[in-house]
Amino acid sequence: MGLQSFEHGLERMVEGVFSRGSKSSIRPVELGRRLLREIDDHRSVDVKGRRIVPNSFIISLSPRDHAGFADIDDALNAELCETAREYARSEGYHFMGNVTVELVVDNEMKPGRFTVVSRMKESGGGVGVGSLVLPSGERVALGADATSIGRLPDCTIPLADTNISRKHCEVRPSSKGYVVVDLGSTNGTKVNGLRIQGEHALEDGDIVSVGSTHLRFEAS
């Protein structure tokens, strides 16, 4: 897609959501643009030939600007993380771990200015608390038990879709996070558009498709 065209979409999306909520002299879209440029400027290639990019971002703001974002802090953080994931998917980039954005106060920073420091950070071992985001925006928390998806009402995520099997697939915890497992469904389970075979490890931002329903995996 390219950075420039992605920035145009970012401006429409972010400004539409936050234009009336921010009391900071910095527009939220400015933070998003800088974050995307950090991703591009610090990409590298790993031993598997994948383009790896930063996934941990610290945005330093003046006390005044930081306070100006207080009312929309959680929503802004979620929007910036999702922007990073979408841009990475569009460019074929890979993260080493979960995407995180932290807004911090720098008492030496002048109002209207900010800095972004990024780094590549691996996720810690063990099972955390991730979630599956439904098309409606509803989040289903993942934990130590398997999360079932299918047509049956007793599935964790029941979906009324004739293209989905009664018990279609499960998202299960593993030693390194979560995996999705197809349960012998008729039409199969896809991750990022590709049909999986057996067990497939999930990465932050992956899209799990069952029938015509697409669920986004988010690691915390």
Tokens standing for residue 86 = 């979408």
Say how far apart CA 159 and CA 116 lie, in whole Å: 41
Percent of the chain with pLDDT over 90: 47
Please give the pLDDT value at position 9: 59
- The band of 1, judged by pLDDT with boundaries at 50, 70 and 90, is very low
Say how far apart CA 109 and CA 120 lie, in whole Å: 25
Please give the pLDDT value at position 175: 77
Sign of the Cα torsion 99, 122, 175, 94 reads positive
Of 13-17, 78-82, 113-117, give the lowest mean pLDDT range: 13-17
Say how far apart CA 149 and CA 152 lie, in whole Å: 8
Say how far apart CA 173 and CA 51 lie, in whole Å: 26
Per-residue pLDDT reduced to its tens digit, 42-95: 999 877 788 889 999 999 999 999 998 888 888 888 888 888 888 888 888 888
Please give the pLDDT value at position 106: 94
Of 4-8, 88-92, 148-152, 180-184, give the lowest mean pLDDT range: 4-8
Mean pLDDT of the chain: 85
